[in-house]
C-alpha cells in the first residue's frame, strides 16, 4: 500500500510555490498471516516459518494428522449415534460403566445371564486381553530393536571415525527426514535414489575391482612388450637369419703374417 503525502515547495525567495505529492511505500497489513505465523512459532519452535520448504513439509505432516483425527472422529460419531447410551455415559463421566448402566435402568444382571450376551462379552474381553498382550509384546520388541539399531549406529561411528555430532545428525536425519515421511506415505526422489545406490553398492564395488584388475594386467603386459622392444636384438635375429654375422679379425691370421714380413724387409 502506498501512502501519499503533500509537500509544499518554496522558491529561492522563500515564497510558497506549488504543492508536490510524495509517495511513500507502506507495508500492506496482513493481520491473519501475522497471527498464523505467531501461532506457528509457538507450535513449531524448531521450524523457521519463512523457510517455505520446511514450512510446507511440516504443514503436510500436520494435514495428514488432521485427516487421521477427522477419520477417527467420524467413526466415533457413528458409534455414539448407534449406541446413544454410550455417549450419555461418557458425558456423565462415570468411572465404572456398570454402575452407570445400573443407575440408568439398564439391567446388567439380566444381560449377563443371557448366554449369547455372556459369550459376546467373554469373546470381547478375551480379544481385548490378547490385543493388550500383543501390544505390550510389540512395544517390547520395538524397544529391543531400537537398542540394536543404536548399537549398529555406534559401530558405524567407530568404523568411519564420526564425531558424536555427526552420529546424532544421522540419527535425526533418518527419523525426521526418512522414516517419518515414509510412515506417512511420503518418499521423495532423493530417498529412492539413495536406496538404489545402496542396493547396487556391492555390485559397483565388485565391478570397480574387476576393472582395476583388468587395467593392471593390461599395463603389465604392455610394459613387458616395451622392455622387449628396447633390448639390443642381434641383426641376424632381426633380419630373420638372412644375413651372416660380421666375421671378426683373428690374431695370427695370414694378413698379419704378410705385413710382418714386409716390415722386416722380405
Distances (CA, A) of 95 to 70, 84, 98, 125, 128: 26, 18, 9, 18, 19
Q: Which residue has the higher pLDDT, 230 or 87?
A: 87
pLDDT at 161: 92
- Mean pLDDT across 114-139: 86
pLDDT in tens, 44-83: 888 888 888 888 888 898 899 999 999 998 888 888 888 8
Cβ neighbours around 88 below 10 Å, total: 13
For residue 18, give the H/E element and its range: strand 16-25
Burial group, residue 178, by CB count within 10 angstroms (0-12, 13-18, 19+) = middle
Q: Which H or E run includes 2?
A: strand 2-10
What is the value of pTM for the model shown? 0.35
Whether 4 contacts 23, CB under 8 Å: yes
User: Mean pLDDT for the chain?
Assistant: 76
Q: Which three cell numbers stand for residue 54?
A: 520446511
Distance CA(256)–CA(264), nearest Å, equals 13
Q: pLDDT over 90 for what percent of the chain? A: 6
Q: For residue 154, is pLDDT > 50?
A: yes
Q: Tell me: pLDDT of 131 over 50.
A: yes
Give the whole-angstrom CA distance, residue 247 versus residue 126.
Answer: 114
43-59 burial, b at 16+ Cβ within 10 Å, e below that, comes to: eeeeeebeeeeebebbe
- Characterize the bridge pairing of strands 2-10 and 16-25: antiparallel
Q: Tell me the Ramachandran region of residue 185: left when phi exceeds 0, alpha when psi lies from -120 to 50, beta otherwise.
A: left
Confidence of residue 238 (pLDDT cuts 50, 70, 90): very low
Cell numbers at residue 56, please?
A: 510446507
CA 45/CA 94 separation, integer angstroms? 38
What are the helix (H) ranges across the chain?
Answer: 31-43, 52-82, 84-92, 97-103, 108-113, 115-160, 164-173, 180-183, 189-199, 201-230, 235-238, 254-263
Between residues 93 and 255, the one the model is more confident about: 93
pLDDT of residue 97: 79
Rounded to whole angstroms, the Cα distance separating 249 from 253 reads: 8
Cell of 109: 444382571
Lowest-confidence range among 16-25, 178-187, 218-227? Answer: 16-25
CA-to-CA distance for 6 and 23, rounded, in angstroms? 9
Amino acid at each position: 500500500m502506498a501512502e501519499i503525502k503533500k509537500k509544499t515547495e518554496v522558491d529561492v525567495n522563500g515564497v510558497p510555490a506549488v504543492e508536490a505529492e510524495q509517495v511513500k511505500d507502506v507495508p500492506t497489513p496482513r493481520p491473519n498471516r501475522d497471527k498464523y505465523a505467531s501461532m506457528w512459532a509457538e507450535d513449531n519452535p524448531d521450524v523457521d516459518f519463512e523457510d517455505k520448504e520446511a514450512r510446507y513439509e511440516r504443514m503436510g505432516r500436520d494435514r495428514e494428522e488432521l485427516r487421521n483425527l477427522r477419520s477417527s472422529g467420524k467413526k466415533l460419531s457413528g458409534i455414539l449415534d448407534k449406541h446413544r447410551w454410550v455417549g450419555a455415559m461418557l458425558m456423565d463421566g462415570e468411572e465404572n460403566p456398570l454402575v452407570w448402566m445400573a443407575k440408568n435402568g439398564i439391567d446388567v444382571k439380566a444381560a449377563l445371564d443371557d448366554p449369547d450376551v455372556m459369550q459376546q462379552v467373554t469373546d470381547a474381553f478375551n480379544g481385548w486381553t490378547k490385543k493388550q498382550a500383543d501390544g505390550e509384546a510389540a512395544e517390547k520388541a520395538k524397544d529391543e530393536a531400537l537398542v540394536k539399531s543404536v548399537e549398529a549406529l555406534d559401530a558405524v561411528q567407530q568404523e568411519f571415525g564420526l564425531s558424536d555430532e555427526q552420529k546424532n545428525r544421522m540419527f535425526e536425519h533418518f527419523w525426521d527426514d526418512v522414516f517419518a515421511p515414509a510412515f506417512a506415505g511420503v518418499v521423495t526422489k532423493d530417498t529412492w535414489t539413495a536406496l538404489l545406490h545402496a542396493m547396487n553398492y556391492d555390485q559397483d564395488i565388485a565391478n570397480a575391482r574387476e576393472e582395476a584388475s583388468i587395467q593392471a594386467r593390461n599395463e603389465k603386459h604392455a610394459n613387458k612388450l616395451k622392455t622387449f622392444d628396447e633390448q639390443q636384438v642381434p641383426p641376424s635375429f632381426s633380419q630373420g637369419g638372412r644375413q651372416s654375422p660380421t666375421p671378426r679379425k683373428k690374431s695370427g691370421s695370414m694378413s698379419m703374417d704378410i705385413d710382418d714380413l714386409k716390415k722386416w724387409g722380405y
